[in-house]
Amino acid sequence: MDREERKTINQGQEDEMEIYGYNLSRWKLAIVSVGVICTGGFLLLLLYWIPEWRVKATCIRAAVKDCEVVLLRTTDEFRTWFCAKIRLLSLETQPLSSPKCVANKVSNGHAVHLTENPAEENRHGMSKYSQIQSQQIRYFTHHSVQYFWDDTIHNFDFLKGLDEGVSCTSIYEKHSAGLTKGMHAYRKLLYGVNEITVKVPSVFKLLIKEVLNPFYIFQLFSVILWSIDEYYYYALAIVIMSIVSIVSSLYSIRKQYVMLHDMVAAHSTVRVSVCRVNAEIEEIFSTDLVPGDVMIIPLNGTVMPCDAVLINGTCIVNESMLTGESVPVTKTNLPNPSVDLKGTGDELYSPETHKRHTLFCGTTVIQTRFYTGELVKAIVVRTGFSTSKGQLVRSILYPKPTDFKLYRDAYLFLLCLVAVAGIGFIYTIINSILNEVEVGVIIIESLDIVTITVPPALPAAMTAGIVYAQRRLKKIGIFCISPQRINICGQLNLVCFDKTGTLTEDGLDLWGIQRVENKRFLLPEENVCREVLVKSQFVACMATCHSLTKIEGVLSGDPLDLKMFEAIGWILEEATEEETALHNRIMPTVVRPPKQLLPESTPAGNQEMELFELTAIYEIGIVRQFPFSSALQRMSVVARVLGDKKMDAYMKGAPEVIASLCKPETVPVDFEKVLEDYTKQGFRVIALAHRKLESKLTWHKVQNISRDAIENNMDFMGLIIMQNKLKQETPAVLEDLHKANIRTVMVTGDNMLTAVSVARDCGMILPQDKVIIAEALPPKDGKVAKINWHYADSLTHSSAIESEAIPIKLVHDSLEDLQVTRYHFAMNGKSFSVILEHFQDLVPKLMLHGTVFARMAPDQKTQLVEALQNVDYFVGMCGDGANDCGALKRAHGGISLSELEASVASPFTSKTPSISCVPNLIREGRAALITSFCVFKFMALYSIIQYFSVTLLYSILSNLGDFQFLFIDLAIILVVVFTMSLNPAWKDLVAQRPPSGLISGALLFSVLSQIIICIGFQSLGFFWVKQQPWYEEWHPHSDVCNTTRSPYWNSSHLYNETELDTHNIQNFENTTVFFISSFQYLIVAIAFSKGKPFRQPCYKNYFFVVSMIVLYVFILFIMLHPIASVDQVLQIVCVPYQWRVTMLIIVLVNAFVSIMVENFFLDMVLWKVVFNRDKQGEYRFTTTQPPQESVDRLGKCCLSWALGCRKKIPKAKYMYLAQELLVDPEWPPKPQTTTEAKTLVKENGSCQIITIT
């Protein structure tokens, strides 16, 4: 049954889940009800916390098809459980005017995505379920998405719009007419309201949810217990702390909800015009839109309320909400394959593939361009939470759990404390029974030990360091929307950088042009703005082939296009509607040169007249634009010079791509050499091409032609050379990262050789390092996929390279020899895709030394980050936010250099567009991580010290007093915890990295050694006081201090006669244990408050130093010079002065031993010899390999032994790989060799190396 009824929804997607069906069981409910009553409601809480138990305890398994409740489990590493109730949607709410109105294969609980033909849908739907009378659909809602039962696949599935399985042809043929009112009503019933609702929960709801947190329930239990035991003050203090914590938590949670709600609701409801089937235009609210509606985009623009595909006209859109990039983007209508010359009608529409034709929800349409008499129309493809904005909001509302070793270890640590508490619990019961204590007292005292062992202030203490780090980051202009990631940033050992705008200046400067005439390159020209060139096709291409637009009179668009257009000094005019009529309705945009550039004087008068006329009329209209596509690496336009019969096609883009689309005879023979010369110098090179179009191509045909029909058989015109300067701070920042053993990788959309050149200039690749280019070719004409290996310096001079010159890695006894073998891999996006698909076994090896990834599409950047994470790197990503969104989200620490403060695409956003934020973020991350360790270790010691104090006192049927607990927990612990977290980050990044988890050799040794020391000295004081000659069992009339004769006499003994000590608090053992333990808390706080190399030294943390001095002085004072009132409140008894001095000596020896063990033995000896290797060895190792992982295992063998015997496998995959590659004679591949994929075992990704001679 189990195996049979386990189904999977969202298969192959990020939110893939297993689904199980259950029906409510009355007898199980009855048993649970009894259990809830018997446990005083605790069972109910347990079932509330664990949905899996709740469903299994109250329901029985059933078929998913007929169940009442579904249990969902994610298939990722977290295996999170959710449950949802099945609901019924009735389709009988209103009779449909015609059977053809059924717009979906949805009936009686069955739904799939919209098909292309409404009539066909109706036929399927009605014939399939004609026998069933009731029209009810079974569905459930999970994370704001509705899943409907679909009988065709026998599973639940979410309702898809026109974004899947719909061809471009059908968008025009079957969906462009609009919907009838009946069809619209039917779809609205299924798709629901088109809005992204972020409900702000009421304060009461949030309060209940927060209070039912297991931690607060534990606190409530503790408070009740302490109140029964008359520890009123301490209970009150904890209640106040909890209330403050709950209120601050509620405030921040509600504030986040309100912010998100405001962000989403700003333009949630607008009035829109839609076209109906009979060409009627109806005005409706945007919340009533459904997929298939044809929406009219208003002339003055709007904020898009849904995702829609343009079928008519052009729009200028600001997509900063989605991408973080404020440059306006031009969106054109989707090509209509039915009128396309090549007829590629089978292509399926996809919002990602066709994003240049898709208007995304939440983006702002600034203005529209339309043709006379025609409206700008778009078909709604997705609504509500299915839209791109909806998915973004869902990812914020329901974030994926952050998997970090620290948090997993924290739970393990708490479990250990619970186990310790269990031992104390059993010990207390046995001890009390043996001493014949009352049952009520036994219960209270045994439960009390549990509340002591698990510290109630732990969560607040743990978050303090992160909160302080977040505040410090904000001061240096780094904003964070995911505070938990600050700790993870402390572990980063590899950072990927985008090139343009990140490592280099955002703006490109035009260095010059190099035109081609008669198949030969002319000399480079610096000035383009010249009379000679004004009517050349080269300048015409520069004037028209761009996506610039005027917004409120100001030219705006892509920075590269702007620089290019400004260089020629032309004027761009967006014609009015009346003017377009003059141009046969074809030219919304016109470009023309300034009058002074056109020749004004020639010898003949009549020629002057002609030229004057020319001056007045020489202008070019842009008829059709094919926007720049990063996948195609080019853009093109169709333009027409006013008065010409034939139109012109102009194209610009990546030189390699443009050359491949040109007639071979027009491309100069030395094209590759010239291009290589420029790219090696770090120039950004753009190629231009042109061709005259056939006269038969009319305006209507051009509007529907595919870009493939235009972009071929072109004439190569030459190159534009742009200079992209390195940012001033780039080399210094990269050097800091390299010194800290943090690898740097460049991921760019630019040319390969330009990227390699920039990598060398900025120090990412050192001058002596070799660069191996992996050129992968996909399978073709029956041949298998293969990789050709070249050297970057020798692409055109391959014969000059001798194979002996290649640094081949050999097995070295000494790691020092490996200094000479540094090499880097470089590849472009196409090669990367081929390698991912056909050479899976090579991917990890290439990730180990891959430094330059050029011509990478946005999704390939994300795949690269995943590939690096797969070999256990902690990956940071730094980009400008435009095409890096996916990678920024996927990386462990993504930092966007976008100016938008509230960029939702990235966990971190830097206000200043400089990569200097990266080392700052890593430093703060390391400081926050070390602070978390310090606090956790301190809280563990605090609970163990107090636990042991109480256990010792329980053995003589005593305990700590109410005010003693209060003094320790409030005056010492809280003050220490919140001040020890204030240490700022260390000013430099060091090569050493902090451990990633609590369960590591060094940290465990640190905690255990301090526990043993503290227990030892506490026991010493406890048992030694009993050996003193003056010792007696304390009673109110004890006078061991000889108070009548003592110079230190005070009146503290006077109250003893009148007050009864029912709990046996006052005795010599209690006083001794209280003083020694109070000092121990302060001693371990100092021992654990480490500074270098990750935080500033603790003496620079002034709040911590002052609070420490005040506490030390106060405790020392009341110990050596008793004050009656203080002794009375703290229930301390008078002990002889010599014993006070003895306690001081015990404390001093304890302090000396603790600090020596922690700061000398652990840091100087053990850390270097066992845990982390000596720094020099580590450095030598990492000169040829990625950064050394901080070693977490006790007794880790020295490095040479690990390399020699290789019995211990390093934890990180990349380290293990590095060790393997050291002894691999076939790696790195020799130049001029080819690696081929094996045909038979393709799925394994196996390959063989064939050397080409």
Cα gap 406→1190, rounded to integer Å: 14
Cα gap 929→992, rounded to integer Å: 14
Cα gap 384→364, rounded to integer Å: 17
Please provide the size of the chain in residues: 1253
**What is the 3-class SS of 321-370, one letter each residue?**
HHHCCCCCEEECCCCCHHHCCCCCCCCECCCCCCHHHEECCCCEEEEEEC
Q: Which of 229, 293, 498, 750 is catalytic?
A: 498
Question: Residue 1012 contacts by C-beta under 8 Å, 6 or more apart in sequence?
Answer: none
| Tokens coding 216 | 């607060």
| Tokens coding 842 | 């090579």
Whether 382 contacts 145, CB under 8 Å:
no
> How buried is 119 (Cβ within 10 angstroms: 0-12 exposed, 13-18 middle, 19+ buried)?
exposed
Among residues 1151, 1084, 1106, 1099, which one has the least CA distance to residue 938? 1084
Question: Residue 1065 contacts by C-beta under 8 Å, 6 or more apart in sequence?
Answer: 958, 959, 960, 961, 964, 1131
Whether 1217 contacts 871, CB under 8 Å:
yes
Q: Looking at residue 275, what DSSP letter applies?
A: E
User: What torsion do the CA atoms of 1202, 1203, 1208, 1214 make, to the nearest 10 degrees?
Assistant: 120
Q: In what order do the strands lie in the sheet with 715-723?
A: 520-521, 509-517, 715-723, 683-692, 648-653, 634-641, 620-629, 589-592, 571-574
Question: Residue 809 contacts by C-beta under 8 Å, 6 or more apart in sequence?
Answer: 818, 821, 1221, 1222, 1223, 1224, 1225, 1227, 1228
Q: In what order do the strands lie in the sheet with 364-369?
A: 302-303, 364-369, 314-318, 329-331
How far from 1199 is each of 46, 656, 1013, 1165, 1181, CA to CA, in Å? Answer: 48, 47, 32, 17, 9
Location of structure tokens 């209103």 = 94
CB atoms inside a 10 Å sphere around CB 861 = 28
Q: Looking at residue 1189, what DSSP letter applies?
A: P
Among residues 564, 555, 927, 991, which one has the least CA distance to residue 736? 991
Question: Residue 1103 contacts by C-beta under 8 Å, 6 or more apart in sequence?
Answer: 979, 982
Q: Is 1183 helix (H, G, I), strand (E, B) or coil?
A: helix
Cα gap 176→161, rounded to integer Å: 15
Cα gap 1179→1046, rounded to integer Å: 65
Known catalytic residue at 409:
no
| Tokens coding 102 | 């059924």
Question: Residue 75 contacts by C-beta under 8 Å, 6 or more apart in sequence?
Answer: 8, 16, 17, 18
Q: Looking at residue 897, what DSSP letter applies?
A: -
Question: Residue 11 contacts by C-beta under 8 Å, 6 or more apart in sequence?
Answer: none
How far from 1253 is each of 520, 806, 1084, 1247, CA to CA, in Å? Answer: 33, 16, 68, 19
Question: Residue 1034 contacts by C-beta under 8 Å, 6 or more apart in sequence?
Answer: 1066, 1067, 1068, 1133
Q: How far apart are the first and last CA of the chain?
A: 62
Helix and strand numbers, DSSP H then E, in the chain = 40, 42
Residues annotated catalytic, as ranges? 498
